[in-house]
Amino acid sequence: MQHPGDDTTLAAKLAQAQARLSAGDLREASVLTLELSRNFPADARPWTLMGSVHLRANRPDLAAVCLGRALACAPDDAAAVMRHGQCLARLGRRSEALAAAAAAARLPLATAALLDGLATLYTHCDEPTLALPFYQQAVAAAPGNTAYRYNLATAQRMVGELAAAEASLDQVIAAKPDDYAAWYTRADLRAQTPERNHVGALRSLLAHGVPDQSAQIMLRFALAKELEDLGEYAESFGQLKLGCDLQRAAMNYDVTGDVATIERIIATHDAAALAHGRGHDNAEAIFVTGLPRSGTTLVESILASHSDVQAAGELQAFPQACMGAVQELAGRHVPKLDFVERALELEPRDLGERYIAATRPQTGMSRRFIDKLPLNYLYAGLIRRALPRARIVAVVREPMDSCYAMYKTLFAGAYPFSYDLHDLGRYYRAWQQLMRHWQAVLGDAFMVVRYEDLVADQETVTRRILAHCGLSWQQACLDFHARTGAVTTASAVQVRRPLYRTSVGKWRHYEVQLQPLARYLSAPP
């Protein structure tokens, strides 16, 4: 073993390993960092670099172990604490990631980079309110850094400071016109008007050419949105389709796999299977689920305006609890179709307890909490089995409006079926069948709320939702838009407004262009 004090050798080997990592040679980088960690086990640097190798290889579980070892070597290194916290957040271990953020906040943060890093960790834990002051400090310390100012704008957007967010993005774009994410984010902050819009500038950017595909996608989505605001529907859809086609072409995705998974759930998660075992006796959780852009954030905001309810955000806790438990049971990674059946072998009470524990300490601050992860519609049967006293609210929307709303949204690494009208039609049909299945087998725990009914008669439907969740009537639930809590989803701007009906029937502006989708949705069940 080399002498631990031989820092010259260590530095040279670290540089060699970093060079291999930068070159994409993960195998050699892994060999070098493993050797260094054995020869210098008390030095944080080899463990940190090994964690980076595992993250590049998409193994955040192994990265978390390595970064934990790095942290044991350097417990007062704020950057190490934050790197470990980011890895935990990526694994869905949000309570542990929040603890890491709190620990980092107690350490000296001497640079703008550290302040921005801590704020970003809080944001990844869906806590933009806690992130905001650290972003502000980072910008004050390095006012010329446009990346820090852009991050500040995203937090301002999440907490409802929309005018401040627009001003921040204006400054970003003025200093760095090729920050295409800033153009995209700014377009969504308000309804554009003939007097105040960026259509001309967006057209000019696209006409002069942009350097890569991702930049072009963001600009076309931004231009489509602003053109729709101005009533230029034909050009809006043309730009949107160009953006969606580019996004779909960049993805390796086949909707057949997702449809098969839904069909397997329907076939196996029947009433008899879900009645097996006895779940965890806990009534805290309210699951708000549904396809994205269907009104789930609206329902969450209504419920979170109740004094007994806390909005916990889009928790990954239930899928993570299921996947972790199935993997432990099988002793290996389980493919999606097998996972559907193996999940029914889990002990319901253990699964429920694991889920509730994973939400702590964040959800222990009020009597009830909302888990608004849209994809929990895949887990509704397992939720009913593991937490029989939990309430589930499924939000549905007129099919064409629902699908068009998804089609025009650029999601961050999710919902790959939404960029092609044929994929979207096939997925939506399968999802409809799943909703009918849950209504048949889940009983009174599962409530379906139609978005159109809610915007047409807010008070009546709100009273039904509250009653379903076992909550008393509170007038504040009608004034949900006045709530000061953070919103981290794509609907962060819309829920700051009083209830409106202008989104109902919006798809009709594109009736001709959406015909491929309409053929799927109008076919008999």
Q: How many domains does the chain have?
A: 1
Q: Flag whether 109 is in a domain.
A: no
- Virtual torsion, Cα 117, 120, 124, 125, nearest 10 deg: 80
Q: Flag whether 120 is in a domain.
A: no
pLDDT of residue 484: 55
Of 134-138, 281-285, 477-481, the least confident: 477-481
Average pLDDT in the chain: 91
Q: Flag whether 255 is in a domain.
A: no
Altogether, the residues listed in the chain come to a count of 525
Q: Where does 278-397 show beta strands of DSSP type E? A: 285-289, 309-311, 368-371, 391-396
pLDDT of residue 360: 83
- Give me the mean pLDDT over the 484-503 stretch: 55
For residue 32, which of 440, 332, 40 has the smallest C-alpha distance?
40
- Give me the mean pLDDT over the 292-306 stretch: 93
Q: Flag whether 391 is in a domain.
A: yes
C-alpha 247/C-alpha 229 separation (Å) is 22
pLDDT of residue 4: 47
Q: Flag whether 125 is in a domain.
A: no
Residue 503 tokens read as 């989104």
C-alpha 280/C-alpha 507 separation (Å) is 43
C-alpha 426/C-alpha 256 separation (Å) is 8
Q: Flag whether 135 is in a domain.
A: no
Confidence of residue 451 (pLDDT cuts 50, 70, 90): very high
Q: Flag whether 327 is in a domain.
A: yes
For residue 376, what are the domain limits? 271-522
- Tens of pLDDT, residues 169-205: 999 999 999 999 999 999 999 999 999 999 999 999 9
Q: Flag whether 289 is in a domain.
A: yes
Residue 57 tokens read as 């290889």
pLDDT of residue 1: 44
Which residues does 321 contact at the CB level (< 8 Å), separation at least 6?
351, 354, 355, 358
If DSSP codes are grouped into helix, strand and coil, which group holds residue 188? coil
Q: Where does 166-299 show beta strands of DSSP type E? A: 285-289
Is residue 68 scored above 50 in pLDDT? yes
pLDDT of residue 481: 74
Strands 446-450 and 391-396: parallel
**Residue at token pair 């053929």:** 519
- Tens of pLDDT, residues 105-147: 999 999 999 999 999 999 998 889 999 999 999 999 999 999 9
DSSP 446: E
Q: Where does 397-488 show beta strands of DSSP type E? A: 446-450
**CATH code assigned at 357:** 3.40.50.300
Starting at the earlier edge strand, list the strands of the sheet with 391-396.
309-311, 368-371, 285-289, 391-396, 446-450
Which residues does 185 contact at the CB level (< 8 Å), separation at least 6?
150, 153, 154, 157, 165, 169
Is residue 426 scored above 60 in pLDDT? yes
DSSP 248: H
Confidence of residue 505 (pLDDT cuts 50, 70, 90): confident
